Structure 1
Amino acid sequence: MEVGFLGLGIMGKAMSMNLLRHGFKVTVWNRTLSKCDELVEHGASIGETPAAVIKKCKYTIAMLSDPSAALSVVFDKDGVLEQIGNGKGYVDMSTVDADTSSKISEAIKSKGGSFLEAPVSGSKKPAEDGQLVILAAGDKALYDEVVPAFDVLGKKSFHLGEVGNGAKMKLVVNMIMGSMMNAFSEGLTLAGRSGLNPSTLLDVLDLGAIANPMFKMKGPSMLKNNYSPAFPLKHQQKDMRLALALGDENAVPMPIAAAANEAFKKARSMGLGDLDFSAVHETLKKPDHSS
């Protein structure tokens, strides 16, 4: 099966590498073309533009950073729309809002192509291990055709109905995750400041009803102030913002998510946007007046 892949950030690179490892032919494109080099060493081909990738491949997957990137790859010069047509499928796995997904879907379908949104739950390690959860919505026939690729990229994939539902589900999941990360950070800080050993708190949490993989995975590195990015904080804050907008549309009060969003914005203002989203922990540190 030949697949095109647009976008080789933390997630896209890991996902396209997985497809190559499992015998897929992959043609890759990235805005910074040098990012393609490592994949070429593992057997990938390079497409000079998104349009060139679409022309060559029956199915193309995109994994881009935000709504503006997702739109520009489709609508700009040498973009997806220049070559998409009958018999070609476009799968956008970026995390965007439902409106962005709908715009892309309508444009692809107007050219005769088929469209699936398929954002994922999971960050760098699940992407590397093929353990993502894929939240697809849109053209069911295309979904059925690309399931072999989804089976390599994820541990489970869902078809959630019409375009927009995948985007909404992803935003709800990431809103909960961002809110949890803030509560977790406050707990670690409170334990330390009140004379407890935060490492013991991690052990206690892991044995109780709120044990979860995120606390287990992120806690030890947070205690070492290690925030190498699996999921960059600036993207987490973007997802909080989009989730809050979804709350506005549906008149859902979201005071906890709103407070979490403010904490992520504070972290961005401190220059932590490119670090892992767990770096929101740094917003709770006492200011150092020793200098």
Structure 2
Amino acid sequence: MSSEQFKFRIGDPVWAKMKGFSPWPGVVVMPHRTNSRVADDDAEFDALISGKQSVKKSAKKEAGGRKRNISEDSGSTASGPSSSTNKKPRGRPPLKQKVDDSSERDASPVPYSSSKKAAVSGLLDRPSVLRPASPALGIDLVTSSQTLREKDIQPSKLNFGFLGLGIMGSGMVKNLLNSGHQVTVWNRTTDKVKDFVEAGAKEALTPSDVIAECDITFSCVSDPQAAKDLVFGNCGVLQEINTTKGYVEMTSVDSDTSQDIAEAISLKGGRYLEAQIQGSKCQAQDGTLVVLVAGDRSLFDDCQSCFQAIGKNSFYLGEVGNASKMNLVLQTMIGVTLAGLAEGMALADRAGLQQKDVMEVLELTGLNCPAILQKGKAIIDGGFPTHQPLQHMQKDLKLSLNMGDQLEQPLPLTASANEVFKHAKRLGYGEHDVSAVYIRARF
């Protein structure tokens, strides 16, 4: 058998074979020296997104079209050389044939390019969801709530401090002031402090200044890391803590973070209490929160008038960490319930049902509760005014999952709900109410 029988020409059909795989049909082509085709495909994809034509691709197509015309004028066709020659050249083709072959490859696959455009268009054809502006914090610091006026509160003569004037902190400080407590405040952004100073609070420049000024200081910030920064950071809480000071952590944190802060406060001689709160913006302003407390019992007793002003009930749960665990358990139940509510409302809308009718029927069933009814109304209205930030709920679900990992407790529903809230947060609704999770379920 001669060696000529083993030579192939460009375009010859062959059977390809690799060790471990069955043979498959193929065709002989010239090897690519660069990844220019991959770059062209990326450029075409980017052009489809931006709505602009790929200049490089258009130039190559025009060049390919001109080369095909030249080839046709010389008697050749797209499938082979001129019909005047029956014998095809053997071996490696000359450079000119290689150029023509590449130009035909770039210009010929119209169906492939069309299908790719259709696929990309389908990928990008999604409902556009406008990201509303972050909601403003509106709060009336002068008018006391009806609930607070009905309480018989004898304010403590101690000086109290408060670190953090966010959605929850603002409402709690308002009730402390309106119930007659002396409060010194600090906030990372000083713009919010002015209104509280006008309402009767004192202002401090740093967290350590608050500790130095006050007997007992409360902290309510966004997450565990922010809570640690207040304690261990520059001009932080530890700088002024001593045996005469008490510190109450109201930030929603995990038990490990709470125990770290407790240890640092105790080593400086101070008293520590974790006071986790259950409720939303409305409950904070009305003074109807539920306060879950653990830690130093004497400090819990000294804070009774404050807890009475900000909440309707306070529970002492023993050693540090128990309140944090209880809070995360409750947040897990609430988060999973709200994710289910959002999916149910999205399903009703897709099925052609009136969401208002769904809520009216739900109100007559065993699912009737204030939380579901309020969030259902927010979904129907579509405004999502912030009562409990969505990003805080997602943070609590993540902390619950971490606690489940430490205890080897499976939490599959919590994990799914966390992903749903995480996606809604990525859509731009992190600072909006937890009911904005409906956006993720709907689209």
Does the alignment reach a TM-score above 0.5?
yes
- Residues 161 and 210, structure 2, Cα contact 8 Å, conserved in 1: yes
Q: Partners of 2:333 and 2:239 in 1: how far apart?
A: 38
1:118 aligned counterpart, secondary structure: strand
1:234 maps onto 2:391 in alignment? yes
1:43 maps onto 2:196 in alignment? no
- How many correspondences in the alignment? 286
Displacement of 1:215: 1.2
Structure 1 runs of 4+ aligned residues shifted over 4 Å read none
Q: Partners of 1:164 and 1:19 in 2: how far apart?
A: 26
Of 225-234 and 15-24, more deviation after overlay is shown by 225-234
Q: Give the aligned residue type for 2:231.
A: V
Give per-residue Cα distances to partners, 1:215-246, cap 9 Å, x unaligned. Answer: 11121121121112111111111100000111
Q: What corresponds to 1:256 in structure 2?
A: 413
Q: Partners of 1:221 and 1:231 in 2: how far apart?
A: 12
Q: Partners of 2:261 and 2:166 in 1: how far apart?
A: 21
Q: Partners of 1:166 and 1:9 in 2: how far apart?
A: 21
1:106 maps onto 2:267 in alignment? no
Q: Partners of 2:178 and 2:435 in 1: how far apart?
A: 30
- Residues 132 and 154, structure 1, Cα contact 8 Å, conserved in 2: yes
TM-score normalized by the length of structure 1: 0.96
1:57 maps onto 2:214 in alignment? yes
Q: Partners of 1:117 and 1:285 in 2: how far apart?
A: 38
Q: Partners of 2:378 and 2:427 in 1: how far apart?
A: 20
Q: Partners of 2:421 and 2:442 in 1: how far apart?
A: 14
1:117 maps onto 2:274 in alignment? yes
Question: Which of 201, 209, 218 is equivalent to 2:358?
Answer: 201
Displacement of 1:156: 0.3
Q: Partners of 2:425 and 2:345 in 1: how far apart?
A: 20
TM-score normalized by the length of structure 2: 0.64
1:224 maps onto 2:381 in alignment? yes
Q: Partners of 1:285 and 1:122 in 2: how far apart?
A: 26
- Residues 202 and 215, structure 1, Cα contact 8 Å, conserved in 2: no
Higher RCO structure, 1 or 2 (CA under 8 Å, sep 6+) = 1
Superposed counterparts of 1:1-291, under 5 Å: 1=157, 2-286=159-443
Of 151-160 and 219-228, more deviation after overlay is shown by 219-228
Give per-residue Cα distances to partners, 1:66-105, cap 9 Å, x unaligned. Answer: 0111001011111110111112110010001111100100
Displacement of 1:195: 2.2
Which has more radius of gyration?
2
Q: Partners of 1:140 and 1:205 in 2: how far apart?
A: 43
Instruction: Structure 2: give runs of 5+ residues left out of the alignment.
Output: 1-156
Cα RMSD, aligned residues only? 0.9
Displacement of 1:285: 2.2
Q: Partners of 1:284 and 1:225 in 2: how far apart?
A: 13
2:177 aligned counterpart, secondary structure: helix
Q: Partners of 2:429 and 2:211 in 1: how far apart?
A: 36
Displacement of 1:37: 0.7
Instruction: Structure 1: give runs of 5+ residues left out of the alignment.
Output: 287-291
1:137 aligned counterpart, secondary structure: strand
Displacement of 1:279: 0.7
2:386 aligned counterpart, secondary structure: coil
